Amino acid sequence: MMIKHRVPLCAIAGIGEISPSRYSEGATTLGMIAAAARLAVLDSGLEKDAVDGLLVGTQIGETPQHVPATVAEYLGLQPKMANVVDLGGASAAGMLWRAAAAIEFGMCETVLCVLANTREREKSTPRAPNRNPIREFDVPFGASGANTSYALLKQRHMAEYGSTQEQFALIAYWARKNAQLNPDAIFYGKPASVEDVLHSPMVVDPLHLYEIVMPVAGGAAFVVTSPRAARFSKAPPVYLLGAGEKLTHRAVSQAPPLISSPFSYAISAALEQAGVGVQEMDLLSLYDCYTSVVANTLENAGLCSPGKFGDWMKEHSFGHDGDWPLNTHGGQLGFGQADLAGGMSHIIEAVRQLRHQADPRQIRNARLALVTGNGATMSEVTALILGAES
């Protein structure tokens, strides 16, 4: 009797394995990952550039965070989907179905799944030097934190396009203004004019204090279910219509040109998957850890020409009743950044707006929203198109 199988979800096209050894004297996790990945890609017969998805484990000795971006940068990849899988001994098996799900959803086509681990003697010699670009080209020169790295990106924009401090301050002004309609915002009751932003302390030239998110305590969550099950939910469902993702670097010294930031691909991919244009968006719920991130997002989304965000912002209004509602909850610059939950606030606000549950800041007839997320230094970007039934 022939066994009937379902349609395959994916295929394993290549494999690579490093022979086990009792100890890995002088080796690095990144080096071993590279060796195993090279063997798998060679076995597949595919070109390295065909790899547009990446799944890795947590045990990367060279970095405590931004693991996928660090590995991708080391391997010379710019994946459209990347994740850490932290399931202990089930990580490898968990990677396979996650890769299949990403391929099925259209996020990518070819996923590299890789795990490696070093093992040293108790009194071994020091590990081989860490050759991460961020450790070699950034940290020794002072770019060891987010403020410094984002200051470099803002300085780059000002140098390339002639953008001004006043133009960046306008972004912070609107964040604080919108926060005045959100009693939960950390800066509720504390608006800030453009002059207030410019007169706030200079943290890292050219970044002022009010251009930087305030770390706060907090949390957020959302529940995802199938369209079928959503029909029985208590609240009006909000649907994911499209998604795009891109990783381009980890170290700011390795960042691509500003107009080719990962926002460019992620946003266009999400719009294409949803079958809509950016001009159709009723809400821009844009990640805003720094004013320069919003400026870059607006330009890479195609809402204005490169270097022209300031002129564009002066021509529009960004409140809930304006022609381009932007971060109506105040964004993280006005609402506060509860670590990773800060980015989730943009999704929560989009859902509230599309449910029409955002009084007194409700956007009239809100139906579509663009949501973005940003990690590292404009390095890891995800864009979402959320929609509600008309």
**Bigger pLDDT: 1 vs 358:** 358
Q: What is the DSSP string of 6-70?
A: PPPS--------PPP-S--TT--HHHHHHHHHHHHHHHHT--GGG--EEEE-S--TT-SS-HHHH
What average pLDDT score do residues 208-229 get?
88
Distance between CA atoms of 189 and 186, rounded to whole angstroms? 9
Distance between CA atoms of 75 and 169, rounded to whole angstroms? 38
Query: Which pLDDT score is estimated for 253?
Result: 74
Query: Which pLDDT score is estimated for 258?
Result: 85
The pTM assigned to this predicted structure is 0.83
pLDDT surpassing 80 at residue 6: no
Give the contacts of 49 (CB within 8 A, at least 6 positions apart).
none
Q: DSSP character for 256?
A: -
Average pLDDT value for the chain: 88
pLDDT surpassing 90 at residue 224: no
Query: Which pLDDT score is estimated for 300?
Result: 96
pLDDT surpassing 70 at residue 96: yes
Q: Are 265 and 242 in contact (CB under 8 A)?
A: no
Distance between CA atoms of 95 and 87, rounded to whole angstroms? 9
| % pLDDT > 90, the chain | 57
pLDDT surpassing 50 at residue 2: no
Backbone angles phi, psi at 34, to 5 degrees: -65, -40
CATH architecture of the region 146-388: 3-Layer(aba) Sandwich (3.40)
β-partners of residue 371 are: 285, 384
Which parts of 153-302 are beta strand (E)? 202-204, 207-208, 238-247, 283-285
pLDDT in tens, 34-50: 999 999 999 999 999 99
CATH code for residues 29-131? 3.40.47.10
- Token duo for residue 254: 């390795």
CA angle at 66 for the pair 156 and 339, rounded to the nearest 5°: 85
Query: Which pLDDT score is estimated for 123?
Result: 55
Backbone angles phi, psi at 91, to 5 degrees: -60, -45
Give the contacts of 390 (CB within 8 A, at least 6 positions apart).
367
Residue with tokens 């909850």: 329
What average pLDDT score do residues 368-385 get?
89
Query: Which pLDDT score is estimated for 389?
Result: 83
Query: Which pLDDT score is estimated for 380?
Result: 85
Q: Residues spanned by CATH 3.40.47.10 within the chain? A: 29-131, 146-388
pLDDT surpassing 80 at residue 20: no
Query: Which pLDDT score is estimated for 128?
Result: 44
**Bigger pLDDT: 222 vs 163:** 163
pLDDT surpassing 80 at residue 139: no
pLDDT in tens, 242-279: 988 888 887 777 778 888 899 999 999 999 999 999 99
Strands 202-204, 207-208: pairing is antiparallel
What average pLDDT score do residues 19-23 get?
76
Residue with tokens 């994916």: 10
pLDDT surpassing 80 at residue 372: yes
What average pLDDT score do residues 313-319 get?
97
Query: Which pLDDT score is estimated for 79?
Result: 94
Phi-psi category of residue 330: left, alpha or beta, with phi > 0 → left and psi -120 to 50 → alpha: left
pLDDT surpassing 70 at residue 144: no
**Bigger pLDDT: 321 vs 382:** 321
Nearest residue to 294 (alpha-carbon basis) of 168, 180, 134: 168
